[in-house]
Structure 1
Amino acid sequence: MRIRFLLPLLLSSWPIVASQAQRSLPADTLHAPTAVLPGVYADPHIAAYGQTYYLYPTTDGTEGWMSTAFTCWSSPDLKTWKKEGVILDLPRDLTWAKARAWAPAIATKGGKYYYYYSADANIGVAVADKPTGPFKDPLGKPLIAKGAFQGQTIDPMVLVDDDGTAYLYWGQGQCHVVKLNADMVSFDPAAVVEFKPPGYNEGSFVFKRQGKYYLMWSEYDTRDPRYSVAYATATSPMGPFTKAEKNPVLKGKGVVKGAGHHSVLQVPGTDQWVMAYHRFRIPGGNGYNRETCLSPMRFDAQGNILPVDVFEVVKPTRIKRPASSVRP
């Protein structure tokens, strides 16, 4: 009789035991999620306009990173990406640079879209009426010429704050920030602030959440498997920024190497965040053959960024906006 009562008890406890055992198993670090873009693309900037997501990456695949053009990709749900074509071709569209098209970023203000990019180790800006371009050079020269400031003149990023003021960040080896003029294509060189957070190398990205400004950057060299992302916070977009105690927040693991040079996006109308970044291509990738990935990014109750899992897949997510607020 005791056996009869014992068997149901054992069976009823099985799901609990199995669940506990499953949680204790080591994570699979040998089978990474598929990259979101086909082929080799790096330094992705992610944005959302209207009800569409966009990715603006560097075209990879050449030693020395000798790409000559930029592309744009669009998606309704973060899962299915469509190539919108070439939006800026250096030999065709510029008079001052022909190659080394790197690390773009985009911002919008006043119904215009401003595309900031590296070209031959200068920083340029181009303007369009739509997020898919075509983008045109309004200056006929770099926005920031190489050698104008300390460090390498690459990796621009622009934050448009809640009051409409825009701030430009850039630099490899040294971080810089300056308030842009209202035209979005000029600034006062005397107002540039230079600083270097501990571990900073390149790829600065800034966003604002709940009144706090987050400055993020990549550490090590992009050809180094240890390439990773760290962050600091401030109460002003100009700093000073204090590096968080728990860093990095993005790094490779297992088969994933060289995870870095990222951007982040807040899904409109939510507190859901997504990080776009590159990793060495799988299999056989390196610092010249990288691929673009997406992972969820989360915060704890104190606003600290939690470690990003490079093996976690972003779920399909559509943007929900009132019809009256939707525009290209």
Structure 2
Amino acid sequence: MADDSWPSPAHNSRGITDVEYEQIACRFSDNGVYGSPADAAVVSAGTGLTVTIRPDVYASVRGHAWYSGSSTVTLPIAPNASGQERRDRIVLRLDRATWTVRAVVRQGASSMTPDPVQQTGGTGIFEIPLAVVSIQSGAGTVTVTRSELYAGARSRPCTSKTLNPNPVAGELAVETDTGRVRIWTGSTWVLIYESSATISVDKPVSNWSIDSSSMLEVRSGTVHLRLGRFTRTAAALAGATSSRLPVFIPSDYQHRSLDQYGIAYLTGVRIARVTVFSAASDTPGQVLLTNHPTIDKDELVLPGGMSWAVSS
């Protein structure tokens, strides 16, 4: 048989079957309820051995739209006389015998929750989960635990100045001007990927020379700082005196609230502390040599590297 495509005038005069529709439409939309877990539960415990489906809920199953209706739907739960807890699952089921999607009860046989059935092809059923119902033996009421599968969000190209002002939870934004990737949590954009060029953070100051440069890189919201090598060019630095090193961290790369601490090695196999000040400090971005012994003229300072998280 030759290859085929649809819809097309060459394919059944642009007519398609239910099977053919599913094969193309199932990729138009993710399976799931439209919304997010922040919405009210789709399924709740009803009176006695029933559960209720709240009105005005939309979903998609294999490209087939489902609407819960304008009023509450009630589903009966079978009595449990097994002597042990039973768990049923409430699902949205596409039944290819009728090509309809309905909320139904998949009854369990024990305390193990039955899995949704997801058959592909032109026959059978395809289910997605809405909730789990627990029924104690002999009980006259049920307990419902929500487990809605929600439809996913799209990945959207934009710039750092044109983020979607009305995003949905799970939406990805790819900033073409910065290369950053962000995700909307439902309340804020969170940076999940960033890769900067190597940035020099040298900042000449008196009393110190720069023997090798200090460099900074950002990877997915984490700053990686490699401090350079410095030589004392002035008179001896007393042990009780802090001194600013020839480095400055730009505001975009400063930790918002926490100072960072590292170790430096000094001439004569000695050590000192290096402090990188946060955006919340009185000297944001400055790097000071602190907690050190006396450092004489022409002695070296060799700080180690350090990393910290940033919000971008």
TM-score by length of 1: 0.21
Higher helix share: 1
TM-score by length of 2: 0.22
- Higher-Rg member (1/2): 2
Higher RCO (CA < 8 A, seq sep 6+): 1
